[in-house]
Amino acid sequence: MTRYRLDDPQPPVPERLRARLEAKLAERGINPAAELPDTPESIPALEAAQLRIPIAYREALVEQPDVAAWVRKVSEGAVAPSAGGLNPQFGASGRRRIMHGPSLLLWGNVGTGKTHQAYAAIRALTASGCGVSWHATTAADLYGDTRPQAGVDLEHQLRRIVRVPLLLLDDVGAAKTSAWTEEVLFRLVNWRCQNQLPTIFTTNLPPVRDLADSPSQPVLRDLVGDRVLSRMSGMCTPVRFTGPDRRFQR
C-alpha cells in the first residue's frame, strides 16, 4: 500500500476519486469506456397486457391502415381523471385514460388476420401512454360464461364485461344462436353503443347480403338481427379483410 507524508504533494480530489472508482469497476470486470447497449425502455402497461394476450398474438403489430387510424383516434380521445365539483381549483390529475371512442368491425374470410389485428390494436393502445382497462373474449365464450350457474352472480358478470372501457368480441356469429344469446348480445351492443365505449368486433361473415351474393350465403344480419346490426353499423368503422387463409400458408 502506498503511504503518503503530509508534506508530499497530493493529487487533486477528483483524480483520487476517479482512481478509486476505476479500481472498483476493474474488480467487478466493468469497463467504463465500453458503449452501453441500446436497451429500449420497458412499458409496464404493455408488459402486463402481454401476460393476458394469447401467445400467438403477443408480437402482433398494427399493419392495416384503418386499424392504425382507429388506434390514433381512440388514444387521442383519452381523458385525464377530473376532480369533479369537489375541488375544482385543483383541476385534473393523473394519467389520461381511454373512456369513450369509436368502434371497429373487422370482417372477412377465415384466417385473413382479423384477430391478429385486433390484438395488435390492443397492444398499440397499451403502449400509447394512456391507461386502458380491457377485456377480450369470443362470442361463444361470452355466452358460455354467462349461462346460469349455481352460486354465480351472472348479472354482475355480464355487466362487468358490458361496461369495460375497451372490449374485443371475437368471432361474432360463429356460435349457435337462440333467443337467450340474442338478448345477451343485444344488451352488450346496445349499452356500448349508447355510451360510446370502444369495441372491436370480428366476424367471418359479411354484414349484409349483396345483390350478387347467393341467397344461401350466410350474413351477420341473419344471425344477430336488425337491432344489433343497426347499432353495430352506427358505432363501428367496417374494415374488410381479404386474401387466403394465412394458417394454411404457414
User: Residue 206 maps to which CATH number?
Assistant: 3.40.50.300
Range of the domain at 234: 44-78+99-238
Q: Is 115 part of any domain? A: yes
Q: Is 70 part of any domain? A: yes
Average pLDDT, the chain: 84
- Of the pLDDT bands very low, low, confident and very high (cuts 50, 70, 90), residue 89 is low
Q: Using CA atoms, how far apart are residues 230 and 221, in angstroms rounded to an integer?
A: 9
Q: Is 21 part of any domain? A: no
Q: Is 54 part of any domain? A: yes
Q: Is 91 part of any domain? A: no
Q: Is 197 part of any domain? A: yes
pLDDT (average), residues 181-205: 96
pLDDT of 92? 52
Q: Is 130 part of any domain? A: yes
Q: Using CA atoms, how far apart are residues 235 and 183, in angstroms rounded to an integer?
A: 19
Per the structure, the count of domains in the chain is 1
- Whether residue 238 has pLDDT greater than 70: yes
pLDDT of 83? 47
Distance of CA 66 to the CA centre of its chain: 16
Q: Which of 11-20, 132-141, 223-232 has the lowest mean pLDDT?
A: 11-20
Q: Distance between terminal CA atoms of the chain?
A: 68
pLDDT of 125? 93
- Of the pLDDT bands very low, low, confident and very high (cuts 50, 70, 90), residue 67 is very high
238, 107 in Cβ contact below 8 A? yes
- Whether residue 190 has pLDDT greater than 70: yes
C-alpha cell at 148: 346460469
Biggest CA pair distance of the chain: 105
Radius of gyration for the chain, computed over Cα atoms and rounded to the nearest angstrom:
27
Determine the angle formed by the axes of helices 220-235 and 179-194, rounding to 10 degrees: 10
Q: Using CA atoms, how far apart are residues 108 and 228, in angstroms rounded to an integer?
A: 19
164, 69 in Cβ contact below 8 A? no
Q: Is 187 part of any domain? A: yes
Beta bridge partners of 238: 105
DSSP string for 28-88: TT--TTSPPP-PPPP-HHHHHHHHHS-GGGTT-----HHHHHHHHHHHHT-B--B-TTTSG
Matching residue, cell 345483390: 211
